[in-house]
Amino acid sequence: MSGHAIPVEGRYRPSVRGSGLRRTCRAALMGAVGVWAGCGLAIDGMAPGTGIERGRGGQPLVSLASPAFAQTGTESSQNGGGTVVAEGGQPDPAGAMAIPSSVVALDPPAETLGARVYQGLLDQGDGNVVLSPASMEIAVSMIGEATRAPLRESIREAVGVPYESLAAINDLPPSEKATVTFANALWLAPGYTLTPDYSHQMQSVFGGEVFSIDFATGEPSKTINDWVAAETNNAVEAIVDRLPRQTSLVLTNAFYFKGDWLRPFDPTDTADGPFQTGAGSPVQVPMMSRAGVFPYARTEHGQVVRLFYIDPKLSLTLYLPDTDSDPSAARSESLAWLFTTDHTETTRPGEGTVSLPRLSLDRKMELTRLLSSLGMGALLGDSAAIQGIQGSIPPSVTNVVQRSVVEVTEQGTVAAAATAVIGLRTAGSEPFTFVADRPFHLALHHADVPTPLLVGYVSDPS
């Protein structure tokens, strides 16, 4: 939940809590053409066996917390009067809201399932991480609504985002400036049916389709993978491998995003540069670069910059730890930034240069054990857990897998994910330099979605 700024012993602590209640952020978005393609989530079940910042010409930079910023957005520019505005903001005729130049700290993020799974994946220390919290939480919520009442309530609590809010994501109004699509489907073996209550939840609340599919014959994996590929515009071409004959259900959630950056990176500014990987070895990668005025924060353990898309509801947040930061403290700080979905009061305009590598990441992650360790053990492998799906042999959830794909270029971003369940120091007056030449975090946010669409940790972009 966002609120006013509360000075706390020399720190500026915005009263912003993770991904709980949030205000709509109407910032415009910047950058190059952006595509975050899809999160397909599938659940596989088997029968058991500081003052005003001054810009160019001494004119005030608008605060992102000002009323004018909340009303409309524009790209970084210098108007006829010389006023510089940040990407996603515009000049505030009444004057920018003053933000102290002392250290600012964000509250810890809400304990959502997405935040805990992302942290668990980071703890595994296995290189790059790409996760769609929204996709995973939707799928877990969908199967959770099919469980018996006590377990259903515990799953809702573990997800941490009201299932009604997640279900409402399917009703996002269409945009002429970006494509944001969520699609849900339940694949049932012959002889399995939904109870009336769960059928209503699945189809009316979550907007899901229900398909009958024979897992014992034919090519059920191909059928499901073709559906995921279609829903993610082929960004995720496959999520399930060969399915056992005794599979009783697969639940899929697909998310797809495509949007144009407000201002693209110029390809002529891209040049090879060193990137110090998480493993400690340097690699040469193409580094994109662009100068401008960005929503920016100098945090206690790193830097944050936000890049905007044309659609005013979509933004990309980048968190770059300092080279000498304490890894544990920086990780905790990164979680607060990634899983806080409204940053209108936590960043301010700063003039500088942003450099980041072209990205092309493809990760498939097995989440079953991790989810079990986070309190989902009663859901996984228990044939008595599911009551909303009925058949001769009670089904049970056995696997949770997510495959994620991210590609970032000067022209745009492509990202996709598929899951299968088979404080801060504000910008100073000096120009900043944000060079992501070492591991960094990113998050894709939508103003009307209470959880990140996608989060990622880039350990090695090569």
Dihedral of the CA atoms 136, 137, 138, 143 (nearest 10)?
Answer: 90
Residue-by-residue DSSP string for 383-398: TTTB-SEE-SS--EEE
Give the Cα separation of 15 and 98 in Å (integer). Answer: 16
Predicted local confidence at residue 424, as pLDDT? 25
Residues paired with 276 in a beta bridge? 282
Cα atoms in the Cβ-side hemisphere of radius 13 Å centred on 268: 0
| The two three-digit tokens of residue 136, written as one number | 């995973």
Predicted local confidence at residue 330, as pLDDT? 95
Domain that holds residue 389: 1-462
Predicted local confidence at residue 417, as pLDDT? 57
Predicted local confidence at residue 365, as pLDDT? 81
Predicted local confidence at residue 363, as pLDDT? 82
How many domains, in total, are found in the chain? 1
Predicted local confidence at residue 414, as pLDDT? 56
Predicted local confidence at residue 302, as pLDDT? 93
Predicted local confidence at residue 395, as pLDDT? 83
Residue with tokens 């859901």: 379
The secondary structure of the chain in percent helix, strand, coil, rounded to multiples of 5, reads: 20, 35, 45
> pTM for the whole thing?
0.78
pLDDT means over runs of 10, the chain (462 residues): 31 34 25 33 46 30 29 38 52 34 67 93 90 90 88 91 83 79 86 92 87 88 92 87 86 81 88 94 94 90 90 90 94 93 84 90 84 85 82 82 73 56 41 93 91 93 90
From residue 201, alpha-carbon distances to 51, 114, 427 in Å are: 51, 22, 46
Looking up residue 316, the CATH number of its domain turns out to be 3.30.497.10
Task: Please state whether 93 falls in left (phi above 0), alpha (psi between -120 and 50) or beta.
Answer: alpha
Predicted local confidence at residue 233, as pLDDT? 86
